[in-house]
Amino acid sequence: MVNKSTTNGVSDPNLENKRTKVTLTNSGVENARGTYYNGAYTSVGYDNSFNLDRFKENFKINILSETPNELVFEMIGVDAPIANALRRIMISEVPTMAIEKVYIINNTSILQDEVLAHRLGMIPIKVDPRKFNFKLPNKEYTAEDTLIFQLKVKCEKDAITGKIINETALSKHLVWVPTQDQEDMFPNEEDRPRPMEDDIPIMKLRPGQVIDIQCYCEKNIGREHIKWSPVCTASYRLQPVITVDKSIKGDKANELLQKCPKNVFDIEESGRVVAARPLDCTMCRECIRDPEFEENVKIERVRDHFIFSIESTGALKSREIFQEAIKIFIEKCNIVEESINKLVN
């Protein structure tokens, strides 16, 4: 039973504004926290409880831009706890492969073994982590949970030209060593495990210095160590809404345009000021610093309109990271559900 008023929101405009928007003032942020209690608006005839059909009706996703490594999209009609859970999962619970154990056979460079091992761990490895299992503690390595890379670099001075060869050990010197039938796991050349970028400097070498290292990659999650995080960053911000009162005209309008460092405002032909590029607003509040303008310019953000930006390190595409995050979220719920059912029965 969906009350007609529920789709339109609360009839009192002040209360409705409080419910749906976060307001910025000179003194700080107002109504930052949403009200989620199901009976919070019962007295004004609004049903604040969760209803799947109503959620489906209001929920929207629009892709704003997609490049190989970055995805920007807007998600409308979902509340912060769910959006934040997905953001947190993308950062710390979507697994990838990263170098975890490093066996140093020879290292005559000036970089200490432990510093070198740490640097190697940070190199993003381009391989689909979904093809691998988590390595269980106190178990031997298997082909299903471990990838081996070899790093063998010798710096020399060319006898004839005098040029120094291999002055910098780069990530491209990391060579994948397939074990058992691992080659069959990657039939396509481009799927083969390799460092994401070829030109990440690992260390500088001088003639005569040698490194000979074996690296073991394991699958794990970003909560354990950030090197396993699939994203450079995954973040969201709320959609800004800026409204300017029509009393701002003429010189005042030009003054307001000058105030904004991000050039958010435009003057329409009618002389009214409009926020033409609200997405550029950084919420610096420069436009409302003058008390005279604070009364006439309103800066707000829509509480359930999220602009997600997911920047991938390369192992998974940004879109795959988001898809995986949702699947992991569902799986988390399944595990808890199973556990409760086991306890009750």
Partner 1 sequence: MTLASAPSATESCNSFIPPSFDINKVEIISDRPDCATFVFTDEDHTLGNALHYVLMKNPKVDFSGYSIPHPSDNRMNLRIQTKTNITAQESLLQGLTDIKDISRHILDTFNNALD
Which 122-181 residues touch partner 1, going by CB under 8 A? Answer: 133-143, 146, 148, 177, 179-180
* Binding residue for partner 1, selected from 2, 29, 32, 61, defined by CB under 8 A: 61
Rounded to 5 degrees, φ, ψ at 58 are -90, -15
Q: How far is CA 139 from the centre of its chain?
A: 32
Q: Does 327 bind partner 1 (CB under 8 A)?
A: yes
Single out the segment in contact with partner 1 by CB under 8 A; choices: 8-16, 76-84, 183-191, 281-289.
Answer: 76-84
CA–CA separation, 49 and 40 (whole Å): 9
State in angstroms the smallest separation of the CB of 342 from partner 1: 8
Q: Does 284 bind partner 1 (CB under 8 A)?
A: no
Q: Please say whether the beta carbons of 35 and 310 come within 8 A.
A: no
Which of 155, 215 has the CB closer to partner 1?
215
Q: Please say whether the beta carbons of 171 and 198 come within 8 A.
A: yes
* Binding residue for partner 1, selected from 118, 172, 206, 223, defined by CB under 8 A: 223
Q: What is the DSSP letter of 298?
A: E
How many chain residues interact with partner 1 (CB under 8 A)? 71
Contacts of partner 1 in 232-251 (CB under 8 A) = none
Which of 295, 338 has the CB closer to partner 1?
338
Q: Does 78 bind partner 1 (CB under 8 A)?
A: yes
State in angstroms the smallest separation of the CB of 245 from partner 1: 35
Q: How many helices (H) and strands (E) does the chain have?
A: 9, 18
Q: Does 82 bind partner 1 (CB under 8 A)?
A: yes
**Residue 238 token pair:** 């709320």
| Residue 91 Rama label (left phi>0; alpha psi -120 to 50; beta) | alpha
Q: Does 49 bind partner 1 (CB under 8 A)?
A: yes
Q: Does 3 bind partner 1 (CB under 8 A)?
A: no
The helix or strand, by DSSP H or E, that contains position 144, with its residue range, turns out to be none
Q: Please say whether the beta carbons of 214 and 148 come within 8 A.
A: yes
Q: Does 340 bind partner 1 (CB under 8 A)?
A: yes
**Residue 259 token pair:** 């105030």
Q: Please say whether the beta carbons of 215 and 81 come within 8 A.
A: no
Contacts of partner 1 in 23-42 (CB under 8 A) = 36-39
Which of 58, 243 has the CB closer to partner 1?
58
Q: Which residues pair with 275 in a beta bridge?
A: 265
CB atoms within 10 A of CB 263: 11
Contacts of partner 1 in 251-280 (CB under 8 A) = none
Which of 157, 223 has the CB closer to partner 1?
223
Question: Rounded to whole angstroms, what are the CA distances from 205 to 23, 33, 198?
Answer: 56, 54, 17
State in angstroms the smallest separation of the CB of 338 from partner 1: 8
Single out the segment in contact with partner 1 by CB under 8 A; choices: 46-54, 121-129, 160-168, 270-278.
Answer: 46-54
Q: Does 306 bind partner 1 (CB under 8 A)?
A: no
Helix axes 318-344, 80-92, angle to 10 degrees: 110
Tokens 């879109």, residue located: 319
> Taking CB under 8 A as the rule, which mask of x and - marks residues 89-128 in contact with partner 1?
x---x-------x-x-------------------------
